[in-house]
Amino acid sequence: MTSAPAAARSNDVFDTGKIPFDSEKLDALMDAAGLDVLIVTSKHNIQYLLGGYRFFFFDAMDAIGLSRYLPVFVYPKGHPEDAAYIANSMEAYERALGRFWVPNVITKTWGSLDAMRAALDYVGKLGKTPRRIGVETAFLPADAYSLLQSGLANTAIADCLIPLERLRAVKTPQELEMLKKASEGVVDSMLAVMSSHGPGSTKHELVAALKREEVARGLTFDYCLITTGTSNNRAPSDEKWHKGEILSLDSGGNYHGYIGDLCRMAILGDPDIELQDLLAEVDAVQQAARKPIRAGAVGSDVYAAAEKVLSTSPNRAHMHFCAHGMGLISHEAPRLTSNGPVPYPGDDADKPLQAGMVLSIETTMPHPRRGFVKLEDTVAVTVDGFEPFGDAGRGWNRGKL
């Protein structure tokens, strides 16, 4: 791949220190996948490649007029100085504020087709026709994909989701700090809601209160799965939390895009011996799963340790364990199993964990008589072990009576 002509660049001298990701690692991943150029269109990967930038106007909704917002990041292997960001016209305001490290920013698009036309035009200026271009097929609209195919008749198109996932798998210290703040913020919010609500509170009211608490802590509220009493239905509703009943809050909230996803339990009153034992069973699996976590441990060891304890639990018929990667999206690398609730291959089951990877570990018990009992925790892999994020409130928290 030849370098773009100087006229295509916004400056003549490129400072490699501005690149917010490991470009050499990305080049190696592209080389292994046989990719010459990336055309990236997912919000989370563009945020990563732009060093945390996300356009505020389309943060919640992509649709506009007869089309949709489609940001495009073009990256030629080995030439970060020729990377380009195809942006919406209003992102000219952001360019004026110096938000972008990318030398080439094109702010003249409003829909998916004109964004892809601009990307094709830019790829044409790179000189040599790429043999193979990587796209995120799950995040590329059909009209833009068809235009890309017709505009690159002599170029093969392949999926680049896995190389980009591998690029994000090991978090930087700054990313780890954001994941920690997200996790702690979610747990603190759940504990605040639990302690301030009592008999008669509806699930809708509890979720609304949780959203307010998370936003007050600087998080973006994503969702809350909630149960009360003996029901295992986790959708918000007008069901009420009554005296003596249990409550589970399983919430995702993000801090600058990095997700905190944890679950905590509460009760209106004091838990009886059976409830104490049920949560202790869940926690025993959680603690067992943590023990093998360290850099160099094989991913499947986490499952093996959890399953060993789970197999001897009195309520094993009602229990399920899952461990998955966390970051800008849930269930990202490392992927430790092919048999989890979200379908994907367990590519990391037989690979060593690396320091900086982040795992969510969760044990669920939808008990047929007592209700939904669950703990979900977040841990970061370290050189010699792990660091838990948001580890407060893991026992029976009390509601307001």
Q: Give the domain ranges of the chain.
A: 6-168, 173-398
**Cβ neighbours of residue 348 closer than 8 Å, sequence gap 6 or more:** 299, 333, 334, 335, 336
Question: 10 Å Cβ neighbour count for 46?
Answer: 21
pLDDT, residue 309, reads: 97
Token output for 164: 């980009």
d(CA 333, CA 350): 13
Q: Which two tokens stand for residue 82?
A: 């020729």
CB atoms within 10 A of CB 116: 25
What's the CA gap between 79 and 81, in Å, rounded?
A: 5
CATH superfamily entry for domain 6-168: Creatinase/prolidase N-terminal domain (3.40.350.10)
Tell me, what DSSP letter sits at residue 298?
Answer: B
**Placement of tokens 């990563």 in the chain:** 48
For residue 101, CA distances in Å to 36, 120, 123 come to: 21, 21, 19
Cis peptide before 334 (omega within 30 of 0): yes
Reduced to 3 states (helix: H, G, I; strand: E, B; else coil), residue 140 is coil
What is the reported pLDDT for 8? 42
Q: Tell me what pLDDT residue 12 has.
A: 54
Other residues' Cβ atoms within 10 Å of the Cβ of residue 90 = 14
Name the nearest CA neighbour of 67 among 119, 107, 114: 114
Measured distance CA(84)–CA(119) in Å, rounded: 8
Bridge partners, residue 363, by sequence: 321, 375
**Overall fold of domain 173-398:** Creatine Amidinohydrolase (3.90.230)
Residue 181, pLDDT score: 98
DSSP state of 291: T
**Amino acid in the structure at residue 339:** N
How far is the C-alpha of 224 from the C-alpha of 94, rounded, in Å?
A: 32
Residue the block writes with tokens 């504020």: 97
Q: Which amino acid is at 114?
A: D
Residues 6+ apart with CB under 8 A from 279: 265, 271, 373, 375, 395, 396
Give, for all 401 residues of the chain, the pLDDT tens digit.
434 443 344 445 677 789 999 999 999 999 999 999 999 999 999 999 999 999 999 998 999 999 999 999 999 999 999 999 999 999 999 999 999 999 999 999 999 999 999 999 999 999 888 999 999 999 999 999 999 999 998 899 999 999 999 999 999 999 999 999 999 999 999 999 999 999 999 999 999 999 999 999 999 999 999 999 999 999 999 999 999 999 999 999 999 999 999 999 999 999 999 999 999 999 999 999 999 999 999 999 999 999 999 999 999 999 999 999 999 999 999 999 999 899 999 999 999 999 999 999 999 999 999 999 999 999 999 999 999 999 999 999 999 99
Taking a C-beta distance cutoff of 8 angstroms, is the pair 275, 371 a contact?
no
Whether pTM > 0.85 for this model: the answer is yes
Nearest alpha-carbon partner for 353 in 325, 313, 316: 325
Spatial separation of the C-alpha atoms in residues 261 and 222, rounded to whole Å: 9
Pure H helices in 133-270:
142-151, 161-168, 173-196, 203-216
What pLDDT, on the 0 to 100 scale, is given for residue 127?
A: 84
